[in-house]
Amino acid sequence: MKLNIDIFIQEELKILTNKNFSKKYISQYIIPIINNIYQSKNNKFILSGSQGSGKSTLAKLLKLVIEKYYKKKVMLLSIDDYYLSKNQRLKLSKKIHPLLLTRGVPGTHNIQMLKYHINQFKNQNFPINTPTFNKLKDDISKKRKVIKNAEILLLEGWCCGSAPIANNYLFKNINILENIFDKNKNWRKYYNSLLRNEYNIVFSLFDKQIYIQAPAFKYILKWRHAQEKVNASKSNNKNFMNKAKLQEFIQHYEKLTKWMMLTMPHKADILIKIDINQKIKKLFFKVDKF
């Protein structure tokens, strides 16, 4: 094991989460994930999980450690940075369905741009200029990220890698949003069609899937609310969503999130099971029996 790697990870996790993690926890759960990525013959990985599950934190940590201790550059992309602008979603909501005004589901991303950047990485065509999205303003930021070189590609995002939803589950109303605002089911049929086609094409460009499995959907609101407050405090912006607004917002994600909770554990190459405090409690690799 690299010298002082556990101390470095402890310090970075403290910065990223404001929580303390023991060396035993790091040795048991974090190091094996890093080693699996580094030792893999593949170099393109998807990391997915529900809102608030810690996927962005883990992705940042993986990049930091691999670059510092394993001397490999990591191109870290978030599907959230590829959301369409507010104006683009407004046009989409008028043309296809009003619920597409809210970012989240497949169809609200610039998936072709994401595909282009993945292919740039595949062909080692650097530099790569990627977008950023300002969630507090709910719009594309003017800032761009410039990636000069990379040997490993890591894409993180809540819906990344998901298979299309089976019709018997797709057409079942599971919340008020679907029951009232998508009675004809056009919204869900639209995003599921894109998931089956354009998004599946992009996800198929990757070699391995890492999935963070939450204990239950009910914890996502709590986690997402805490995340919202932290993001707002970091930017000194008081305009964050309260629990009521978040509950409504998360209903846009609910069906696909629950579908992934059912299907992804059997599909993932690395399955990370977390507890109600967002800490890893079990770690499985594909050779293991889940």
Cα 270 versus chain centre, distance: 15
The larger pLDDT score, comparing residue 234 to residue 109, is at: 109
CA 163 to CA 180: how far, in whole Å?
A: 26
Question: pLDDT digits over 163-191, tens only?
Answer: 999 999 999 999 999 999 999 999 999 99
What band does 290 get if pLDDT is binned at 50, 70 and 90?
A: very low
Mean pLDDT of 7-18: 94
> What residue type is 278 in one-letter code?
Q
Tracing tokens 């089911």 back to the chain, one arrives at: 185
Query: Using one digit for the tens of pLDDT, what is the confidence trace for 196-216?
Result: 999 999 999 999 999 999 999
Mean pLDDT of 131-158: 96
Task: Report the chain's mean pLDDT, rounded to a whole number.
Answer: 93
Output the pLDDT for position 3.
60
Per-residue pLDDT at 225:
74
Q: How far is CA 224 from CA 31, 160, 193, 253, in A?
A: 26, 18, 27, 12
Determine the pLDDT at residue 8: 96
CB 163 within 8 A of CB 267: yes
Residue 284: in which H helix or E strand, if any? strand 280-285
**What is the pTM for the complete model shown?**
0.92
Walk me through the domains of the chain, giving residue ranges and CATH numbers.
5-285 (3.40.50.300)
Sign of the alpha-carbon torsion through 29, 8, 80, 110: negative
Question: Based on the number of CB atoms within 10 Å of its own CB, is 57 exposed (0-12), middle (13-18) or buried (19 or more)?
Answer: middle
Asked whether residue 230 carries a pLDDT value surpassing 80, the answer given is no
Encode pLDDT of 60-93 as tens digits. Answer: 999 999 999 999 999 999 999 999 999 999 999 9
